Amino acid sequence: MRRPLAGRITALLAAGLLLPVLAACGSDDDDNNGSGSADGGDAALVIYSGRNEKLVKPILDKLEKAVGAEVEVRYGDSAELAAQILEEGDRTKAGLFFSQDAGALGALSQEGMLAKLPQTTLDKVDQAYRSGEGDWVGLSGRVRVIAYNPDQVAADEVPDSVHDVVKPEWKDKVGFAPTNASFQAFVTGMRVLEGDDATRKWLEDLKANGAKTYAHNLATLDAVEAGEVSLGLVNHYYWYERVAEKGEDKLDSKLHFLPGKDPGALINVAGAGILADNGEQRATAQKAVDYLLSEEAQTYFADTTKEYPLAAGVTSTVEGLPPFESLESPDIDLGKLESLQETLAMLQDVGLV
Amino acid sequence: MAAPRPVGQPTAPAAPPPAEGFAGGGADRRPPLVLLVPACAAALFALLPLGYLAVRALERGPAFAWEVVADERTLDLLGRSLGLTAVVVAACVILGVSLAWLTVRTALPGARAWSVAATLPLAVPSYVAAFTWLSAEPDLAGFGGAALALTLVSFPYVQLPVAAALRGIDPAQEEAARSLGHGPLRTFLRVTLPQLRPAAGGGALLVALYVLSDFGAVSLMRYDTFTRAIHTSYRASFDRTPAAALSVVLVVMTVALVAAEARTRGRAGHARTGGGTARPAAPVPLGRWKPLALLWCGAVVAVAVAFPLGTLGYWLTVGSSATWDLGGLTETAWATLGVAAAGAALTTALALPVGVIAARHKGRGARLLEQAAYAGHALPGITVALSLVFFAVRYAYPLYQRLPLLVGAYAVLFLPIAVAATRAAVLQAPPVLEDVARSLGRRPWQVLREVTLPLAAPGVAAGAALTFVVCMKELPATLLLRPTGMDTLATRLWTETGAGSFAAAAPYAAALILLAAVPSYLLGRHRT
């Protein structure tokens, strides 16, 4: 009696498993016909926010009033939300994707999931900080910097280039977060600027020089604070947020903004794109993007999240933050940071992730 | 609550287990349809991620998928994942068996309190454990730290079933062995230990699958495993194909582990017909070993329970970002309890038929069903979540981002925990009573309702409580599948720590641990 039972169950399971799979393969084409509005009726705007709720909820609450429609926000991780939107395809619930970095927006853009933005919206932001395809726009800027511990390094000894941190005098004294999206975007930027061979060599040198890896930028900054490492490759706003939380006099670390268009001074953006398949949310989403570029919202990013406002005419008033114009970041097309996959392969090859 | 004690002939002490499982039981009988149909449905449900992975992994053709899998890095990750799993499982077996034996069978002072305390680590999420250790000792990062954090949160998976098994063992067998001139150690090794093997093996399997699927601890400890590579792959490329191909390898490992565990089970069925000796075993006097035993229990409880709680307390009192939003906390706690209860209920319901079949029916079919139920358990939560996004968007769109889907995800993720508990509970119920019921003309569903389930109820309830606890702690699937705007304690914790405010996260972590401690406490007191 055993074989037939096993056979029966195998057949049942296999059939049950295969059916939806086969149907899925076949249904990709059928589903495309006007299913986006299958839900119907409710025109509330759904925002998938890869930006942390703690940081952006206040401004999104104001956004709800500004656009005059109900707004639902789904908070998550930028990369995971992008994967979710890709999996949802044309039936996505999202009307607007508010991403922590350009890479996740680029991935959606590449799959043709983002709608073109009107030129008036795009023109509010320098073209260096928006999509070349015109389907997403940067809202706030974040700069790569070197955090240092003044107890261990004098201010004038801090390297002016990431190329210097692989030198022998910094052996075992550098911290960084190899799995962090900003670090990976910076490595991608270095590949675009200096080529794959030079970048691979730099990564190998960094590893050979005993640089210490951390889970994220905050952990890296904490390590600099604690004197575990002397230098940390981080984004600028973490330090300013710590200052806001603890007070500057309680912080041991300082920041160094790199001069000379060094790849280590890359400016990345947090930005937003409108989902092309969600027609009924389109108008509200458009209003939302314009609101996020308004003076009120841009001032919020400057004051609260300590980032650089990107809309023309708004400047940061955070104490001690160098003016945006004074930053000597490398000239790079953020749209070109999409080749993250090669960066990851390289990081894996070198053994850093 | 004690299971109803059946009347009947006491079994001969130290009788060898019957050759073919439990003789006379339903071993040769086909599972009745009343079990087979829901069991197949549950297995199918558990196999959903596999279907998804097949679609995604083969999206760009088998050659590409093979390229990802055949990369030498895969072998490296395999070694790292298996190494971590082996170390954590070994440590959990040592901790779990020793604590279970000390608290159940010896004259340890405060045995009951120790046994409850030893189950409390279940309430600590792996990412919280890893974080507390890391904040105290940053140099722990790496293999050692990951192994430590994972061991400390998962050894109760071994301790609980082993303690239950120890209580269920007929002491007459050990007494017989002693009367035949065996020493206490020899008796333990020859008579007691073999009877603990299924319980310890089942617990070890759950620990192994937990380690394979865990992302929180390995990520914080910066130790690269399959799960972490899968996450990095989603994150870096938004490309689901390599992640899916790697996940398939995890599924293969799961099936291998489940099959290996099934082999170690051997023929151990330890149901006893009748009451045997209707009294607990005489406690083993510890003598001069007593201080050492106390020290051992104390050390485990200190590092696994007191330390994380102490660290959270520190953050609560010291951090400047600590804010007590009592209203929000209460609301989130209620929501968490609600989804976790629903998750535990659905998981238990799906696990019942699979568990009963796995306990009562031998053969490939029964094994296949059980293995199917385990398929999704070693996968990282995000993979399971994306697979449910995929299926729900296509075939159950009205459910998408609604509670039933989230609850369904919990069932896929945690089915094995409930199956293992059900199976063990049914194994301890004498099958001969079912035969009697059948011979009296009861229909299969009546046998199930009137005999099998009442006998297995305490064990099944324990499984439900355990499932409840793990649902409360779940993070990645909850993030992707919860209704928009809903929060659980785990997602709040994620939000707060994501903004770097550990002190603000501490109240949520504390609430999570305290709430999860209630069912853990009940589990610790649970008597079979």
Reported as a single tens digit per residue, the pLDDT across B141-190 is 889 999 999 999 999 999 988 888 888 777 777 788 888 888 777 888 88
Give mean pLDDT, residues B270-285.
59
pLDDT band for B27, please (50, 70, 90 cuts): very low
pLDDT (0 to 100) of residue A147: 96
pLDDT (0 to 100) of residue B513: 86
Q: What is the pLDDT of residues A218-249, one digit of tens each?
A: 889 989 999 999 999 999 999 998 888 777 88
Q: Which chain A residue shows the shortest CA-CA distance from B393?
A: A88
Neighbours of B168 (CB within 10 A): 21
pLDDT (0 to 100) of residue A281: 94
CA distance A251 to chain B (A): 14
pLDDT (0 to 100) of residue A32: 36
pLDDT band for A256, please (50, 70, 90 cuts): very high
pLDDT band for B2, please (50, 70, 90 cuts): very low
List the single residue in A5, A226, A348 with the smallest CB-CB distance to B73. Answer: A348
pLDDT over 80 at A4, yes or no: no
pLDDT (0 to 100) of residue A104: 86
Residues of B in contact with A13 (CB under 8 A): 40, 43-44, 47, 368, 372
Nearest to B269 by CA among B16, B35, B438: B16
Q: What is the pLDDT of residues A259-274, one digit of tens each?
A: 999 999 999 999 999 9
The overall average pLDDT reported for chain A is: 86
Q: What is the pLDDT of residues B327-382, one digit of tens each?
A: 888 999 999 999 999 999 999 999 999 998 888 887 788 888 888 888 878 888 88
The overall average pLDDT reported for chain B is: 82
Counting other chains too, the contacts that B332-336 makes at CB distance below 8 Å and 24 or more residues apart are B332/B487, B332/B488, B332/B489, B332/B492, B332/B508, B332/B511, B333/B489, B333/B511, B333/B515, B335/B486, B335/B487, B335/B488, B336/B472, B336/B488, B336/B489, B336/B490, B336/B512, B336/B515
3-state secondary structure B52-110: HHHHHHCCCHHHHHHHHHHCHHHHHHHHHHHHHHHHHHHHHHHHHHHHHHHHHHECCCC
pLDDT (0 to 100) of residue A22: 44
pLDDT (0 to 100) of residue A338: 67
pLDDT (0 to 100) of residue A8: 59
Q: How far apart are CA B212 and CA B68, in angstroms?
A: 19
List the single residue in A54, A104, A353 with the smallest CB-CB distance to B495. Answer: A54
pLDDT (0 to 100) of residue B219: 82
Q: What is the pLDDT of residues A38-73, one digit of tens each?
A: 344 446 899 999 998 888 999 999 999 999 999 999
A57 touches chain B (CB under 8 A): no
pLDDT (0 to 100) of residue B266: 59
pLDDT band for B283, please (50, 70, 90 cuts): confident
Give mean pLDDT, residues B43-47.
90
Scanning B480-499 for CB atoms below 8 A from A yields: 480, 484-485, 495-496, 498-499
pLDDT (0 to 100) of residue A275: 96
pLDDT (0 to 100) of residue B75: 87
Q: What is the pLDDT of residues B473-527, one digit of tens each?
A: 998 899 899 998 899 999 988 888 766 666 777 888 888 888 888 887 777 665 5
pLDDT over 70 at A303, yes or no: yes
Residues of A in contact with B51 (CB under 8 A): 17-18, 20-21
Q: Which amino acid is at B331?
A: E
Q: What percent of chain B has pLDDT over 90?
A: 27
Nearest to A89 by CA among B3, B392, B483, B256: B392
Q: What percent of chain B has pLDDT over 70?
A: 88
The answer to whether residues B521 and B116 touch, using CB atoms and an 8 Å cutoff, is yes
pLDDT (0 to 100) of residue A1: 39
pLDDT over 80 at B318, yes or no: no
Q: What is the pLDDT of residues B390-423, one digit of tens each?
A: 999 999 899 899 999 999 999 999 999 999 888 8
Work out whether strand A212-213 and strand A174-176 pair parallel, antiparallel, or are unpaired: parallel
Residues of A in contact with B50 (CB under 8 A): 17
